[in-house]
Amino acid sequence: RKEVEQDPGPFNVPEGATVAFNCTYSNSASQSFFWYRQDCRKEPKLLMSVYSSGNEDGRFTAQLNRASQYISLLIRDSKLSDSATYLCVFSNTGKLIFGQGTTLQVKP
Amino acid sequence: GAVVSQHPSWVICKSGTSVKIECRSLDFQATTMFWYRQFPKQSLMLMATSNEGSKATYEQGVEKDKFLINHASLTLSTLTVTSAHPEDSSFYICSAREAGVGELFFGEGSRLTVL
């Protein structure tokens, strides 16, 4: 089983839609979780950390389910500028492990 | 926010040559730097962890003699791809962490194409 599994997509949604991504991880000892955003041919950039209690940053909501070993990202009111690849990332012993990424394409 | 700079951003070289990529933390001291490689449509794969003043720790399957890492100062780490071959063509990204600070900052990446 892969350490991190994500549906690569692409997810094609219209502007204003709500879209959710899930990501499962296999290492129950994983300590920290993040969502990164990567634009085409660019470096990844931290979107938000993921906390057990769930956290929200504007239109973005992230949740962690340790029992089922997955994290999720919800994007409300999608904008064209949200089009990117969203990487699920977890940290174990200080190293970041990246998922393959889920590609989101927001259409006008 | 903190800035990590990578150079060169892209490089094309002939098979058999060596290529050096630099990663600099511009406004903080990075005790730890990480080197990643990303092939098209794949995830970032950690290659090695570089600690200032000590030998790098390589991930399983990464040849330490082929990918030479030097972290001689708190603001600079270099990755040298020795005797590069076409299969080494990839997007190489470094990241750096300031001592005592959790967030990891990424360089802009270096796209290597070996002909």
pLDDT digits (tens, 9 = 90+) for B4-26: 999 999 999 999 999 999 999 99
pLDDT at B52 exceeding the cut of 70: yes
pLDDT digits (tens, 9 = 90+) for A2-36: 788 899 889 999 999 999 999 999 887 777 899 99
Cβ–Cβ gap A87/B108 under 8 Å: no
pLDDT at A96 exceeding the cut of 80: yes
Task: Judge whether A47 is closer than 8 Å to chain B, CB to CB.
Answer: no
Quick one: pLDDT band at residue B99, thresholds 50, 70, 90? Answer: confident
Cβ–Cβ gap B106/A45 under 8 Å: yes
**Cα atoms found within 13 Å of the Cα of residue B35, Cβ hemisphere only:** 31
Find the mean pLDDT for residues B74-87: 95
pLDDT at B110 exceeding the cut of 80: yes
Find the mean pLDDT for residues B31-54: 89
pLDDT digits (tens, 9 = 90+) for A56-86: 999 999 999 989 999 999 999 999 999 999 9
Residue B80's pLDDT is what?
97
State how far the Cα of B27 lies from the Cα of B29, in Å rounded to an integer.
7
Task: Return the HEC string of chain B.
Answer: CCCEEEECCEEEECCCCCEEEEEEECCCCEEEEEEEEECCCCCCEEEEEEECCCCCEECCCCCCCCEEEEEEECCEEEEEECCCCHHHCEEEEEEEEECCCCCEEECCCEEEEEC
A8, A41, A43 ranked by CB distance to B107: nearest: A43
Check: CB of residue B5 under 8 Å from CB of residue B94.
Answer: no
A82: phi then psi, degrees, rounded to nearest 5:
-80, -10
Task: Judge whether A50 is closer than 8 Å to chain B, CB to CB.
Answer: no
Strand partners, B98: B30
Find the mean pLDDT for residues B94-114: 85
Cβ–Cβ gap A44/B44 under 8 Å: yes
Residue A1's pLDDT is what?
66
Residue B102's pLDDT is what?
67
Cβ–Cβ gap B93/A43 under 8 Å: yes
pLDDT at B101 exceeding the cut of 70: no
